[in-house]
């Protein structure tokens, strides 16, 4: 999702605001103010007919939201939506890459919710919470049977508000009042390659408000560590804010080079070019390769296309998602907002990639093990069948523990493979895949995939040749 300022040609916004703020709510006898647009009069007349004549008193809020949802759904556009309450909060959190929290990480250990760690200067530590405290209640409600995600959802809230957290420590329950603080999410992660000491690997998970600053800081750190070339990993990046894509692309380009063109339905097209206004003079001239896959979308595609078409920076991986449209987010009131597609964007060479995606310069598919579906059940045992068992068998096979036929049947051969895995990892050799076994199995597979990443291997080889 990209976000730009509300343009003057977005006339439909005024209509939505008028409906959402109750300008016609409760109107009964007198005729409404007539609009010059007969379609608007039709909407108002329909609202009044239902509000005044329906045999039961309708919910005005539902009527208005139904009208808005009906208009938006008629566009047949998956990126235009009316967002309310939780959906609005989720989008706002994604855009800002921040939320109201207490600065603590939770984990699930044998059906117990434990505090795994607390931030050094976070609210949780200041309040007195410690690692390994068992979380037993939030705002007086027992957390028995809760997942970590359910607990996190209850702990988070508006910055400055207070949450009551009850923990068990040394067998004694204690309750702490913790004031929520602003927690900023890291959208950029940088590491030095273990095989090439001059290669910095940068992963951008989304294009949110702090992403540009986080990327600059990451590049500076990697340069200090000896990085002379970079891999920019945009795999799995769903996009985000257009201004962040412009700033980041500009860092890698010469001033004046075209980043993208935005074409609204009405009004003139706007071409954006690299320059100090976007990157503040911070430039990245080192050899770079970009990784993309089928989940690289929107702002990630803007950046990848700009780097590829201007600097011939290689795109390595799989075809990108193909989202070539721009959305505005318009606030309707405190609990709802309208996300609306308002334009399409083109690459520097004028390509519209919508539903087509960017083709990688070097096509490198994911290994089969990377496409294994995660196990959803808490545990599996002898005699179980189904897709979760099949996933278990695939993971065991990928880690060289022979489960027999990968057929979704938890038989004696699969149980023997689980026992072998458990013995290798100092776990009780029960042959049943309990929660701890599944967690370690998943971690081991992820580590193996990370260490032998074919896309990074390809990028490493290409950049090494460019530098020699």
Q: How far apart are CA 344 and CA 274, in angstroms?
A: 19
Nearest residue to 314 (alpha-carbon basis) of 222, 252, 393: 252
Residue among 88, 125, 216, 323 flagged as catalytic: 323
Q: How far are the Cα atoms of 3, 87, 156 from residue 450, in angstroms, in the given order? A: 33, 33, 31
323 counts as catalytic: yes
- Annotation marks residue 309 as catalytic: yes
Count of C-beta atoms within a 10 Å radius of residue 94: 21
Cα–Cα distance between 201 and 221 in angstroms, integer? 12
Catalytic residue among 309, 336, 337, 339: 309
3-class SS string, 237-302: CCCECHHHHHHHHHHHCCCCCEEEEEEECCCCCEEEECCHHHHCCCCCCCCEEEEECCCCCCHHHH
344/263 Cα distance (integer angstroms) = 5
Catalytic member of 80, 205, 250, 298? 298
Instruction: Sort 128 into a burial class: Cβ within 10 Å, 0-12 / 13-18 / 19+.
Output: middle
Give catalytic residue positions: 298, 309, 323
């Amino acid at each position: 999702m990209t976000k730009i300022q509300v343009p003057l040609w977005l006339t439909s916004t005024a209509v939505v605001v008028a409906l959402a703020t109750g300008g016609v709510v409760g109107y009964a006898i007198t005729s409404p103010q007539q609009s010059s647009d007969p379609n608007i009069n039709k909407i108002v007349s329909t609202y009044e007919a239902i509000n005044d004549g329906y045999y039961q008193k309708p919910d005005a809020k539902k009527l208005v939201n139904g009208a808005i949802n009906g208009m938006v759904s008629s566009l047949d556009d998956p990126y235009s939506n009316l967002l309310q309450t939780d959906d609005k909060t989720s989008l706002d959190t994604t855009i800002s890459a921040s939320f109201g929290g207490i600065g603590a990480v939770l984990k699930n250990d044998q059906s117990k919710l434990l505090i795994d760690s607390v931030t050094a200067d976070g609210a949780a530590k200041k309040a007195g919470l410690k690692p390994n405290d068992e979380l037993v209640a939030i705002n007086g409600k027992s957390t028995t049977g809760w997942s970590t995600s359910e607990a996190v959802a209850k702990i988070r809230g508006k910055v400055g508000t207070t949450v009551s957290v009850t923990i068990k420590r040394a067998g004694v329950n204690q309750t702490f009042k913790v004031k929520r603080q602003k927690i900023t999410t890291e959208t950029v992660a940088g590491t030095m390659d273990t095989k090439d000491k001059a290669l910095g690997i940068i992963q951008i998970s989304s294009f949110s408000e702090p992403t540009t600053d986080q990327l600059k800081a990451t590049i500076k750190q990697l340069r200090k560590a000896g990085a002379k070339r970079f891999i920019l990993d945009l795999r799995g990046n769903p996009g985000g804010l257009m201004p962040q894509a412009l700033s980041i692309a500009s860092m890698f380009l010469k001033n004046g080079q075209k980043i993208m063109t935005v074409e609204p339905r009405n009004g003139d097209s706007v071409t954006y070019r690299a320059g100090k206004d976007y990157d503040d003079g911070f430039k990245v001239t080192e050899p770079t390769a970009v990784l993309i896959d089928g989940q690289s979308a929107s702002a990630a595609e803007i950046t990848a296309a700009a780097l590829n078409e201007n600097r011939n920076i290689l795109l390595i991986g799989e075809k990108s998602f193909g989202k070539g449209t721009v959305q505005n987010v318009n606030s309707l009131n405190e609990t709802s907002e309208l996300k609306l597609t308002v334009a399409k964007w083109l690459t520097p060479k004028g390509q519209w990639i919508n539903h087509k995606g960017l083709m990688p310069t070097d096509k490198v598919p994911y290994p089969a093990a990377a496409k294994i579906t995660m196990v959803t059940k808490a545990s599996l045992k002898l005699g179980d069948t189904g897709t979760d068992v099949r996933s278990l068998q695939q993971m065991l096979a990928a880690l060289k523990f022979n489960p027999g036929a990968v057929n979704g049947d938890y038989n004696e051969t699969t149980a023997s493979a689980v026992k072998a895995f458990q013995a290798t990892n100092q776990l009780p050799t029960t042959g049943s895949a309990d929660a701890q076994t599944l967690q370690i199995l998943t971690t081991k597979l992820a580590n193996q995939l990370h260490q032998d990443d074919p896309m990074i291997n390809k990028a490493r080889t290409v950049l090494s040749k460019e530098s020699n």
